[in-house]
Amino acid sequence: MIVEGAFNLLFRPGLREDFRDTYEQYPEEYPYYLKTGTTDIAEQSASIITGMNRLLERNDGEAITYEDPKLGPKVMAVDKEFALGFILSRRTVEDDLYGKANQGAKWLAHAARLTYEFRSAALLDDAFTGATYLGIDGLSLCNTAHTLINSQTTVANTPAAPVSMSVTGVTACFDLYMLMKDENGDPVIMNPDKLVIGNNSTDLHKAMQIFSSEKEPFTANNADNPIKERFGNIKPYVSHYKQSAKSYFFIDSKYNDSWLLVRRAVEFDDTFDFDTDAAKYKTTTRFLIWFVDWKAWVGSNPS
């Protein structure tokens, strides 16, 4: 509980008006790489189905071969609840000369906002280990050996040897998109249109040069930039909340299957305790972060 002793400076004149209790925040970042929505059920589940992939050669008069479509495993996830509050004595509010003690709604709203950001960015930090988030094949979001429902082929969506943000690294990621397979192991079209990088200026400058320069960057032959020619619509987007400053991800937003689903939007409540003359403030929310299909993502995690 906040009582007079803890905030005694607020009861004396002479403090400057600027308490530096608010700073400008970055715009919401998680909607850039997570699809967002709401849900009214506590448990989410999903699967993937795939049909037949090829016709079989048939001799004259030979009976038709029949093959069943394949249904993948069931993937399930449950949302998590988050909450925080604080208690403020009535005397603290009455004696506060600056109106700063009773800002519970502002502080709790800020905490809720950051909870969404850091929890979303945790998916990026976990993308190569799968300690928390696993997809339909039971593997991490970015893996060198994704399995398929109706094929023995394995598919990689991260380079076997992680490559830093560079022309070589970007090319390696694009090569993996060209090798992308569906659940039958057949080629599919994936076109990345988003790039998420870490919070470091070196990678940001490199990415801007790679995707914005008309001429091929980091070379002296003044050749046209083929990456800009084909993927010039991709703009690097910095994640300020993920821990890894070096990892980066390309995403095909058309097939992106990573989600933040809100079960209960951020709610604010307050009450008054009769015996202690204290005001109690709280905020709660419920949301789920998960992914099912990994194919839209290609990432690299250099050390």
pLDDT at 50: 95
Q: Which of 10-14, 106-110, 137-141, 298-302 comes out lowest in average pLDDT?
A: 10-14
Neighbours of 136 (CB within 10 A): 22
pLDDT value at 5 more than 80: no
Q: At which residue do the structure tokens 């048939």 appear? A: 58
pLDDT at 88: 86
pTM of structure: 0.89
111-119's contacts with Cβ under 8 Å and 24+ in sequence apart are 111/84, 111/283, 112/82, 112/84, 112/266, 112/283, 112/285, 113/25, 113/28, 114/241, 115/82, 115/285, 116/28, 116/30, 116/260, 116/287, 117/28, 117/29, 117/30, 117/241, 118/241, 119/287, 119/289
Residues 6+ apart with CB under 8 A from 134: 140
pLDDT digit string, tens, across residues 142-183: 999 999 999 999 999 999 999 999 999 999 999 999 999 999
pLDDT at 224: 65
At residue 170, the 3 state secondary structure works out as helix
pLDDT value at 187 more than 60: yes
At residue 168, the 3 state secondary structure works out as helix
> Is the CB of residue 1 less than 8 Å from the CB of residue 89?
yes
pLDDT digit string, tens, across residues 69-106: 999 999 999 999 999 998 888 888 788 777 777 777 78
Q: Which of 282, 241, 253 is nearest to 30 (CA)?
A: 241
What is d(CA 259, CA 37) in angstroms, rounded to the nearest whole number? 8
pLDDT at 95: 82
pLDDT digit string, tens, across residues 243-259: 999 999 999 999 999 99
> Is the CB of residue 237 less than 8 Å from the CB of residue 250?
no
pLDDT digit string, tens, across residues 194-216: 999 999 999 999 999 899 887 76
What's the whole-number mean pLDDT along residues 224-241?
A: 85
Radius of gyration (C-alpha) of the chain in whole angstroms: 26
In the structure, what pLDDT confidence band is assigned to residue 11 with cuts at 50, 70 and 90?
Answer: low
Average model confidence (pLDDT) across the chain: 90
Q: What is the CATH class of 27-52+73-300?
A: alpha beta
What is d(CA 170, CA 300) in angstroms, rounded to the nearest whole number? 9
pLDDT digit string, tens, across residues 269-290: 989 888 888 888 899 999 999 9
Residues 272, 276, 281, 287: is their CA dihedral positive or negative? negative
Question: What separation in angstroms does the CA of 186 have from each of 66, 124, 148, 233, 285?
Answer: 20, 27, 10, 27, 42
In the structure, what pLDDT confidence band is assigned to residue 4 with cuts at 50, 70 and 90?
Answer: low
Q: Give percent helix, percent strand, percent coil of the chain, each to the nearest 5.
A: 20, 30, 50
pLDDT at 102: 75
pLDDT value at 1 more than 60: no
By percentage, how much of the chain surpasses pLDDT 70?
92
What is d(CA 79, CA 116) in angstroms, rounded to the nearest whole number? 13
pLDDT at 157: 98
Within 179-240, residue ranges assigned H as helices are 201-212, 226-231
More confident residue, 223 or 66: 66
In the structure, what pLDDT confidence band is assigned to residue 10 with cuts at 50, 70 and 90?
Answer: low
pLDDT at 114: 96
Rounded to 5°, angle at Cα 117 from 123 and 155: 20
Residues 89, 92, 98, 100: is their CA dihedral positive or negative? negative
Cα distance between the two ends of the chain: 44
